[in-house]
Amino acid sequence: MTTQLLHHNEQDIQTAGRLLAAGGLVAIPTETVYGLAADATNGEAVARIFAAKGRPMDNPLIVHIADFGDIRRFSLVREIPETAYALANAFWPGPLTMIMKKGDAIPDAVSAGLDTVAVRLPAHPVARAVIRAAQTPLAAPSANLSGSPSPTSAQHVMGDLDGKIDAVLDGGDCAVGLESTVITLVTEVPRVLRPGGVTVEQLRSVLGEVDVDDAVLHRLAEGQVAASPGMKYKHYAPKANVILLSCTDSEFIGYVNSHAGSGVAALCCDEDIPMLRGVMTISLGARGDYDTQAHRLFDCLRRIDGYGSVQTVYSRLPATDGVGLAVCNRLIRAAGFEVIYLEQT
């Protein structure tokens, strides 16, 4: 199959819409990461997403809509809880996904057999324009091969999926750079299953009490069922071995310098670069600038693979306030939960 490269103009948006309405697969830009979209009401089209990505069938997809009214219009959920109206008012369109009881229109392939469905109204105008052009809600996971870092540019998508999907619509680099916050509204207390651009602090300011699922920062115990199936997989991982250090800034410099050598890299902050010796440095941004760190993280993880010779990457375990929690969640998975705790001074 030849994968068409489409551009950010009205004609190409209509082409994307036609391909999707006919059951095709098109990668589209969103403000978080690129999504691999198919008609969410067409079980066969949705099944092709799993095949193209090599995604485990037990991992459900997010349904993307162009307007809040699409939830009812397409019978996506059984009922809209009060909490969903409050969150939509505050954060939609934007990087927030809400899980609700699923409605009749959702094929089993989308919900992976669960009785719930995840719904998101993206902020990227091209994403919404494509949904409107397709005249159907779009199921879309991140447009990467399963297990590799999520794509934040059309080039990343092409690198993973060229020849496997009908088209990629290039809408430029993604602003947020990390996938949406996923919150379930079917538990007694709303619970964050995946942290993202909308922070836990922001969610609490609207809803009051909000829980954070254990799986956000911890490996599930053997046999424990994941509330969000995607959280149980090793994820976002470059081919090199990522090792996280829980330590102070000076301990980080000392540890990395004492492990320097060929094949060693540091995924670090701008301020570390002059102090590190004999290792390749890849900066996520200024210390404490979580938005930039989030924006660059997946591109940095992909660049590490591009260098080929890198075998070990050291990075710091980030702080967990604000968007830091999302950066930490992705880095911990990239590291396969491998964290070295240095003595705190």
Q: How far is the CB of 262 from ligand TXA (least distance, A)?
A: 34
Q: How far is the CB of 114 from ligand TXA (least distance, A)?
A: 5
Q: Which does 70 bind (CB under 5 to 8 A by kind): Mg ion, ligand TXA, none?
A: none
Identity of the residue, 193 or 334, whose beta carbon is nearer to ligand TXA in the bound complex = 193
Q: How far is the CB of 270 from ligand TXA (least distance, A)?
A: 27
Q: Which does 99 bind (CB under 5 to 8 A by kind): Mg ion, ligand TXA, none?
A: ligand TXA
Query: CB-side exposure of 151: number of CA atoms within 13 Å?
Result: 30
Outline where 141-184 has alpha helix (H).
154-161
Query: Rounded to 5, what percent of the chain is helix, strand, coil?
Result: 35, 20, 45
Q: How far is the CB of 33 from ligand TXA (least distance, A)?
A: 5
CB atoms within 10 A of CB 341: 10
Q: Which does 313 bind (CB under 5 to 8 A by kind): Mg ion, ligand TXA, none?
A: none
Identity of the residue, 238 or 266, whose beta carbon is nearer to ligand TXA in the bound complex = 238
Judged by CB under 5 A, does residue 41 bind Mg ion? no
The length of the chain is 345
Nearest residue to Mg ion by CB is 142
Judged by CB under 5 A, does residue 152 bind Mg ion? no
Judged by CB under 5 A, does residue 142 bind Mg ion? yes
Q: Which does 35 bind (CB under 5 to 8 A by kind): Mg ion, ligand TXA, none?
A: ligand TXA
For 86, the 3-state DSSP assignment is: helix
Q: How far is the CB of 341 from ligand TXA (least distance, A)?
A: 27
Q: How far is the CB of 64 from ligand TXA (least distance, A)?
A: 6
Write b or e for each residue in 3-13: b if 16 or more Cβ atoms lie within 10 A of its Cβ, otherwise e: bbebeeeeebb
Identity of the residue, 102 or 316, whose beta carbon is nearer to ligand TXA in the bound complex = 102
Euclidean distance between CA atoms 153 and 309, whole angstroms: 24
Residue closest to 340 by CA, chosen among 272, 284, 258:
258
Q: How far is the CB of 323 from Mg ion (least distance, A)?
A: 18
Judged by CB under 5 A, does residue 32 bind Mg ion? no
Identity of the residue, 182 or 317, whose beta carbon is nearer to ligand TXA in the bound complex = 182
Identity of the residue, 143 or 253, whose beta carbon is nearer to ligand TXA in the bound complex = 143
Strands 116-120 and 62-64: parallel
Q: How far, CA to CA in Å, does 197 sit from each of 17, 160, 257, 292?
A: 27, 24, 33, 12
Q: How far is the CB of 231 from Mg ion (least distance, A)?
A: 11
Judged by CB under 5 A, does residue 315 bind Mg ion? no
Which positions touch ligand TXA (CB under 6 A)? 30, 32-33, 35, 59-62, 95, 97, 99, 111, 114, 116-118, 120, 140-142, 179-180, 182, 193-194, 228-231
CA 324, 272, 266: angle at the middle one, nearest 5?
A: 75
> Using an 8 Å Cβ cutoff, are 34 and 177 in contact?
no
Q: Which does 148 bind (CB under 5 to 8 A by kind): Mg ion, ligand TXA, none?
A: none
Q: 88 CB contacts (<8 Å, ≥6 apart)?
A: 68, 98, 121
Strands 181-184 and 167-170: unpaired
Judged by CB under 5 A, does residue 181 bind Mg ion? no
Strands (E) in 34-161, as ranges, are 35-39, 62-64, 96-101, 116-120, 138-139
Identity of the residue, 42 or 152, whose beta carbon is nearer to ligand TXA in the bound complex = 152
Q: Which does 97 bind (CB under 5 to 8 A by kind): Mg ion, ligand TXA, none?
A: ligand TXA
Enumerate binding residues for Mg ion (CB under 5 A): 142
